[in-house]
Chains A and B, each alone.
Chain A
Amino acid sequence: GAGVSQTPSNKVTEKGKYVELRCDPISGHTALYWYRQSLGQGPEFLIYFQGTGAADDSGLPNDRFFAVRPEGSVSTLKIQRTERGDSAVYLCASSLLAAGDTGELFFGEGSRLTVL
């Protein structure tokens, strides 16, 4: 596709359930980032992939959060035992190179997660 695609655009779930959020980056982009944006806040870094490997996962808040990118393209953010505090917009971004090389992250429109 022309841009970064994220699905679902909206997800409502109940506390304790498991959730998967998908990101389809721009074709050919090797770097992929996940961010979380809570209401009234700026995006908060979660994890960065370079190819298939997680180059930096220091932003994941706890072990309920996990992300994969098995073929170096599509990525899935997985949240186990969701809590109400997980409610936020989850943003995915991709880049041809590491962000420090180009500064240009291309963002998707985000997946809004609501945990009831």
Chain B
Amino acid sequence: AQSVTQPDIHITVSEGASLELRCNYSYGATPYLFWYVQSPGQGLQLLLKYFSGDTLVQGIKGFEAEFKRSQSSFNLRKPSVHWSDAAEYFCAVAVNTGNQFYFGTGTSLTVIP
């Protein structure tokens, strides 16, 4: 069965520090991969996506993610975190021509001054 694992439930970083959020998936073929962010009181927003091609993808708000087929991973990174990045981050996998999205359980990010 398809699954998405985000091993870190909660991460705390200092403002200006670098960030990496982990995501691993389990699927027979290369799925479509996404990162979404959910801020309090707001809907989920797409940060970036990977379909094919260059394994390093750039997203909005200075985020990037790298697809590593050998590790079945799609980790999200940001070189310098801003206080406004505090939110819940979800990794997602789309299968069956993209009609179904499977989301991870999320990583809650706290940014301290």
- Chain A residues packing against B (C-beta within 8 Å): 3-4, 33, 35, 40-45, 48, 55-56, 58-59, 91, 93, 98-101, 103-110
Nearest B residue to A31, CB-CB: B99
- Chain B residues packing against A (C-beta within 8 Å): 4, 6, 32, 34, 36, 41-46, 49, 51, 90, 92, 94, 96-106
Tell me whether A42 and B46 are in contact (CB under 8 A).
Answer: no
Number of A-B contacts (CB under 8 A): 73
B41 to chain A minimum Cβ distance, whole angstroms, is 7
Complex CA distance for A107 and B104, rounded to whole angstroms: 16
Nearest A residue to B50, CB-CB: A103
Residues of B near A42 (CB, < 8 A) are 4, 6, 90, 92, 103-106
Residues of A near B103 (CB, < 8 A) are 35, 42-44
A58 to chain B minimum Cβ distance, whole angstroms, is 8
Residues of A near B106 (CB, < 8 A) are 40-42
